[in-house]
Amino acid sequence: MKIFVCIKQVPDTETKIKISPDQTGIDTAGIKWVMNPYDEYAVEEANKLRDANPGSQVWVLSVGPKARVVESLRTALAMGADEAIVVNGEGLDNFATAKALAEVIKAEGGAKVIFSGKLAIDDNASSVSQMLAEFLNVPHTTVVSKFNFNGENVLVERDIEGGAKEVVQMMTPAVVAANKGLNMPRYASLPGIMKAKKKVIKEVEFASLNIPASDIKVKYTGFALPPEKPAVKMISGDASAQASELVKLLRDEAKVL
């Protein structure tokens, strides 16, 4: 069977964000780009599913500027994915991205299971997986921390508020968006890295998918850093004095009690 994984390339979590002069985005100079952390769980789960079902293949797919996005696709290949496709496009929103993913998956003959991360840590939208499922007319579950496949259906656990979990069964094909805790992503092996370097990544131009410009629904503007905080007020004294002073300040000055 064919297993797809949709990944996104994002700035590393350690990145200090600077705003571009026109405020339409961030200053990308010097940014270290990595695979979205939640997508690593998606790649790992796809590899595990492939390994448990001989004859299966893992296809990893990403939409973005080709020149840099291929690096994250190679990371996925080094982790064990079999094939990779890049959709070269820029300035797309979640809606148009999901459309592009759906078109490419359809053109490749569809998939039994499609994995993704529960959200991308750049725009924190947690939208593409559900949109993709809708465009493919298949079920989805997001925030998944446990996955099982019995040859026909998938059984997953979805993390919801307050530490509760929903146990969900889906008919395949299905979209599964991974949460942290789903697995421990494997490190890329040296042979894996060598193989990934040589692998030919299939290229698709976004423009060739005939997705209209009106499928861009959302634009981000007015990027700004959070307002500077006033300097911290340090509380001195022994532990007892510090504790009583803090409670007094929270009650009388900050008025949050």
Partner 1 sequence: MGKILVFAEHTNGKLKRSAQELVQAAAASGNTVVAVAFGSHAGDVTAALGHNGASEVHVVKDASLDAYNPESFTANIAAIIAKVQPSIILASASSTGKDLFPRVAARLGVGVASDCTTLAINGDNVTAVKPMYSGKCFATVNFENSSTKIVLMRANQLPVAAADTSKTANVVENAAVTVDLKTLVKEIVKGASEKLDLTEANIIVSGGRGLKEAANFKVLNDLADVLGATVGASRAVVDAGWVGHGMQVGQTGKTVAPTLYIAVGISGAIQHLAGMSGSKVIVAINNDPNAPIFQKATYGIVGDALEIVPKLTEEFKKALHH
Strands 153-159, 165-171: pairing is: antiparallel
Are 121 and 31 contacting, i.e. CB atoms less than 8 angstroms apart? no
Report the residue number, 84 or 113, with the smaller CB distance to partner 1: 113
* Residue 105 Cβ vs partner 1, minimum distance, rounded to whole Å: 15
* Residue 85 Cβ vs partner 1, minimum distance, rounded to whole Å: 21
* Residue 247 Cβ vs partner 1, minimum distance, rounded to whole Å: 4
* Residue 41 Cβ vs partner 1, minimum distance, rounded to whole Å: 10
Tokens of 213: 């410009």
* Residue 75 Cβ vs partner 1, minimum distance, rounded to whole Å: 17
Report the residue number, 121 or 188, with the smaller CB distance to partner 1: 121
Query: What burial class does residue 173 get, using C-beta atoms within 10 Å of its C-beta: 0-12 exposed, 13-18 middle, 19+ buried?
Result: buried
Residues counted in the chain: 257
SS3 letters across 78-115: HHCCCEEEEEECCCCCHHHHHHHHHHHHHHCCCCCEEE
Report the residue number, 57 or 126, with the smaller CB distance to partner 1: 126
Report the residue number, 26 or 201, with the smaller CB distance to partner 1: 26
Report the residue number, 210 or 240, with the smaller CB distance to partner 1: 240
* Helix or strand holding residue 64 (H, E): strand 57-64
Q: How many beta carbons lie within 10 A of that of residue 257, not counting itself?
A: 9
